Structure 1
């Protein structure tokens, strides 16, 4: 297998604040919404959201524009949620033989690559149907039976599905009359508005699904009540929305109103404010319209071809190569140019070794994005390797990594598109108060555990090893490189930041998982101390690791703790993080732990060897700590300060240190 040659791509670490507050939204019609709309979906002038029309074999998606935090702060349970919406399905004829239905969906992404219509409802395809890697929860309102059968028949049922089209639970569409055990059928394709409620109890792990006609209030007894633990299905950030599809049978699928809430009951919709859906045009009328359009098209076709030829000769057209079709979503350059206001300087939110990062707002749906603009002096060299890495990164899925949304190649530039992270970088939150936000110790501890979990995924748990190579708090964007497991890197250039670079990287120029661990160790100390990797102390520049060890030598390691915390922290946790930071940033590669070991230390599954069982009195005598380090073979009789910083940044002059980050 050919390895990428010195090519850099970008990943975000998504720094999140855990919050137990309720999140909710309500739509009475969608004229003023900024939903993410895909393929056949349109918003009608009345405000009705039409997912598909009666055209055969089309797909429509509509999703709330920002991901929703699904997990509870206090434990690993999925938060309770509730949604209430009104939909309307109008078949292509009066004989109620339309199809194929719609589904409410929770998904890690608002886009479904290579999804198929028909029975797959625009969400899955024949190859990924049923895969646990989908992480999709859905409730389907299906109007056609015959999934994986030789023929299709009329269907009218509601199903709860996990990761595929085989329903865990399914019932004919109906509702229980209040106070009785009797049910009344609800005809999904009646052409009339229908109400649907989906409620998940995150404590009891129960999913309730209820439907009724518009004239019937929410029944007391749900149609289905199933025990389903979603903690193994959904990811921390999920998109909520709808998907619909047609096949050889077709219907118009509408959403008229929608409310959603985390940790509470979804708001009731005011039925007087629900938009009206005009009657579908008859097939004869449609036929006349089509004939008129065809006649007009025949007249204009020649003019259109001439205009197209003129555009080709008058403008430089960007040509798509065949291999580009296999990569994730390709954005139009003009779309990204408009989103970033022409890559205006005021929209720049970061600068890396391979280009600048810009904030943007997509004109098509109002979604916020971050665009990394990578400069390339040789547009031909390595494009296939770039494509291979983009395709791989598009499949990375972890709750502490922001997903790659797409890309664009324009002239000599490669543009990578990610979700925009509104909370900014860890650097900005450590050293300045943003919007009144101050990082408490518990938030800092949660962040470093989240980063460790993400690094473990990149190093060991994905199908390839991913090395991000520039681990620092100010990096919203993190450089990455892909290798096969068990193979070494062939990097010849050093990429990193003074104070974070592992000593061996300056000698060999080869990045590895161990150099990532070194940078992570510096980051741990930075989070505890509230200081950058270069500390200005007593009219001199001091490496952060040296400064922490000096505090040790003076007799109290807690002098190094960020004063902004005002002593409001867990002593044992601070001691653990500082000890782990020193161990990870050890100059000897063989002494550093792996990220799997780091995660075990942070979760309390194993005890950190350097600092286990020390008292919590607040004073850490240097002779006690030094003796433990000597006993473990981590240091020699030379000074501790000399040990912990040998060449983190190579042989640097004071002027080079003054350049900081």
Structure 2
């Protein structure tokens, strides 16, 4: 008689069998013989002919992804709650575009997706973007090998290994290093050395311990360089994809994977580096190419003047790159590339113009990225190498509220800067005169806080103090989401180079210049705060700091707002185009803060850190305010220069007379160049994308 099996027993057996621990394992010694269906490759990643997996090339701002095609089961316990142990080993190499100047890095990644849609390059390593970074719903685990120090993300150096969980701000990180075989002495390791490096990543689920190990050989060292206690059970889901992600930024590096092994519930097989594909041969050094070209030209000269002239004519449009230019940080574009991007710098692509030159809209042919190309009016008296060195500094600044410098180009005396394109143009066209679109109070307050955050980064959060020098509505650009971003930082300093040191020269915009600038000529973080105060008032009031066509008592915005504050009618100055639809507490805070920042005594102005805390509601503004015009230049040892002729918040008769004289030439948008005892508006028009 056949014995029947109860259905409940069958169900239990099925569940138990389905939860049986399965040890997934694969080993790739090169990728030539990999079945196409076994790997998912996207972005710029590709498998080269010699079997090397190339994640990125020398193209700026691109991403590359490679994942094991099928999802791997990471939770095999009875209830599917606990992550199993796993181990991986891989051999990689990073070759920067220029020696010691590369970016960004790559990461071993465990993700819910093998496509990473919406991921951004640069500091996001092709893993996340600025809107989802840090979200717990990401369910993302990564070990990054980063070659750029991003201060916004708290990177410890430009050569580090970090453990990232749902974020690009590492939970734990260490400078890249390794232990030699049989040694307990740690040695420094330069990730961009262009040599093959082997990495091991091991997770022990029983101890919730993650270890990262590096070596320059085939054998795994006894010591790890980074150990981190973490329970990955809440992070990893039951089925996940494993692979690699890389990106480039302003500068580019080629990221290579030569071999890869992976194993669940066991130790991954170490790779024999000698049996793996070799690193691709580097391209010829551009400096060598230039030297060779020059020698060829000399040889041609020996054959006769006519042949030499022909060679000069033939190659007159080739970009000549001097050796020092190879050390500059941001990506160097060719003139031909930018000329093509802007369709020959046609007037149809012109976005605006100003004291520093014209700005064109461009479409980069390689990446199809829309950019803004600023063509600088370069004066011979300015040191070219110093100018470009300053560009290198600007190119390293990274903040969500700064307009990002993508790259640059030099052709003879012509200098071009390439920026992120800001589709909504500059802030001034939304608050002055009769704008096509009236910004809501919510949008204005968001822009104000964004600009304050960017300015705080320049003043205190970067490795050096950067003074903007020309904060105004025309230099605040709006991205596709109407976020405020500061542009043109640092350029005023460049423009000032070459000035006669015996004269006092101040380059800025009338209405934003701090009074002490006309005495010392030296900009400070406090003079930036003064200009930011003017910006606060003009955004709240919807008018320029100096309105030449206004009534005498309303001519200068600081004095007008202060008068209304003294009368207890401060909210009467709020932009009437808002039709009363605004948050009164926020508007009051912005106006009071604008008056505090506009104080003529620099020591009475708050720092940008305090400004940000006020705007975020962390600190309450004082109930009483000091009058902004308490500054007395004569008592402070001012020079013979009449400060009241230049101080925007001092409505003297001489000042009113000058404004009247300039009213036909100055509409509040131009720059003021103050030299010796004269002041005149410079030829600077509006730029919709700086």
Q: State the TM-score, normalizing by the size of structure 2.
A: 0.52
Matched, 1:526 2:526: no
Distance 2:345 2:202 in 1: 50
Indicate the residue corresponding to 1:196 in structure 2.
none
Cα deviation, 1:352-396, whole Å, max 9, x if unaligned, reads 3221221111111210111121122218x5223223222222221
Matches within 5 A, 1:324-335: 324-327=325-328, 328-335=330-337
Equivalent runs, 1:44-193 vs 2, <5 Å: 50-55=45-50, 59-61=54-56, 109=122, 124=147, 128-130=158-160
> 1:472: Cα distance to partner?
0.7
Deviation at 1:550, TM superposition (A): 3.6
2: CA distance between counterparts of 1:314 and 1:644? 55
Establish whether residue 645 from structure 1 lines up as the match of residue 657 from structure 2: no
- Indicate the SS of the match to 1:396: coil
Q: Secondary structure at the match of 2:587?
A: helix
Aligned positions of 1:191-206 closer than 5 A:
none
| Alpha-carbon distance in structure 2 between the residues aligned to 1:506 and 1:515 | 11
Measured in 2, the distance between the counterparts of 1:133 and 1:390 equals 32
- CA drift of 1:169 comes to 7.2
Residue of structure 2 in register with 1:461 after alignment: 461
- Offset of residue 503 of structure 1: 2.1
Q: 1:207 to 1:474 in 2, by over 3 A?
A: farther
Residue in 1 that maps onto 2:239: 222
**Residues 528, 574 of structure 1: 8 Å contact kept:** yes
Q: Deviations over 1:457-507 (max 9, x none)?
A: 111221212111111111243242699xxxxx9894221112222222234
In the alignment, what sits opposite 2:256?
246
Question: Cα distance 1:525–1:84, how it changes in 2: closer, same or farther (>3 A)?
Answer: same
Residue 186 of structure 1: aligned partner = none
Determine the structure 2 residue equivalent to 1:504.
Answer: 516
C-alpha distance in 1 between matches for 2:423 and 2:662: 32
Measure how far apart 1:574 and its partner are: 1.0
2:339 is aligned with 1:337: yes
Taking the aligned partners of 2:648 and 2:604, their CA distance within structure 1 comes to 12
Contact 1:429–1:439, Cα closer than 8 Å, also in 2: yes
Q: Which has the larger radius of gyration?
A: 2
- Cα distance change on mapping 1:135 and 1:397 into 2, 3 Å: farther
SS in 2 for 1:467: coil
C-alpha deviation, 1:539, in angstroms: 8.4
Q: Secondary structure at the match of 1:401?
A: coil
Q: Which range moved further: 473-482 or 511-520?
A: 473-482
Which runs of 5 or more structure 1 residues have no equivalent in the other structure? 1-45, 69-82, 90-96, 113-118, 139-146, 152-163, 173-203, 211-220, 226-236, 252-282, 284-301, 484-488, 613-627
- Paired residues of 2:600 and 2:629 also in contact (CA < 8 A): no
Once the 2 structures are TM-superposed, how far is the Cα of residue 98 of structure 1 from its aligned partner? 10
Partner of 2:488: 478
* Counterpart in the other structure of 2:609: 596
Matched-pair contact (CA < 8 Å) for 1:459–1:466: yes
The alpha-carbon deviation at position 149 of structure 1 amounts to 7.4
Aligned mates of 1:508, 1:347 — CA distance in 2: 40
Aligned to 2:660: 654
Residues in 1 aligned to 2:473 and 2:438: alpha-carbon distance in whole angstroms: 15
Separation in structure 2 between the aligned mates of residue 352 and residue 55 of structure 1, nearest angstrom: 51
CA contact (8 A) 1:56 1:249 kept: no
Map of 1:568 onto structure 2? 581
Do the aligned partners of 2:146 and 2:160 also contact (CA within 8 Å) in 1? Answer: no
Secondary structure of the corresponding residue to residue 551 of structure 1: helix
Q: Shift of residue 58 of structure 1?
A: 7.2
In structure 2, C-alpha distance between the alignment counterparts of 1:422 and 1:165, rounded to whole Å: 44
- Report if aligned partners of 2:54, 2:257 keep a CA contact under 8 Å in 1: no
State whether residues 208 and 222 of structure 1, in contact with CA within 8 Å, keep that contact through their aligned partners in structure 2.
no
Structure 2 partner of 1:414: 415
SS at match of 2:415: strand
Name the counterpart of 1:254: none
Cα distance between partner residues in 2 of 1:134 and 1:507: 50
Question: Is the Cα contact below 8 Å between 2:371 and 2:420 reproduced in 1?
Answer: yes
Contact 2:394 2:490 in 1 (8 A): no
- SS of equivalent to 2:658: coil
Distance 2:589 2:372 in 1: 35
Aligned length: 437
Partners of 2:45 and 2:406 lie apart in 1 by 25
Match of 1:362 among 351, 361, 364: 364
Superposed displacement of residue 537, structure 1? 3.0
Cα shift at 1:411: 1.3
Return closer, same or farther for 1:653/1:562 CA change in 2, 3 Å cut-off.
Answer: closer
Q: Does 1:429 align with 2:446?
A: no
The alignment partner of 1:373 has SS state of: strand
Matched, 1:353 2:355: yes
C-alpha distance 132-376 of structure 1, shift in aligned 2 (>3 A): farther
> Alpha carbons of 1:98 and 1:510: their partners in 2 closer, same or farther (altered >3 Å)?
closer
How far did residue 310 of structure 1 move?
A: 6.9
CA distance in 2, matches of 1:551, 1:652: 25
Equivalent position to 1:578, from 587, 591, 597:
591
Deviations 1:48-98 (A, max 9, x none): 965231337674439999999xxxxxxxxxxxxxx9997669xxxxxxx99
1:495 pairs with 2:507? yes
Q: Which residue of 1 aligns with 2:292?
A: none
Structure-1 separation of matches of 2:513 and 2:596: 15
CA distance in 2, matches of 1:446, 1:591: 26
* TM, length-normalised to structure 1: 0.54
Q: Measure, in 1, the Cα distance between the counterparts of 2:65 and 2:443.
A: 33
Q: Distance in 2 between matches of 1:222 and 1:425?
A: 46
What is the CA–CA distance in structure 2 between the aligned matches of 1:223 and 1:345, rounded to whole Å? 51
In structure 2, do the counterparts of structure 1 residues 320 and 516 end up closer, same or farther at CA, with 3 Å as the change threshold? same
**Mapped partners of 1:87, 1:243: distance in 2:** 23
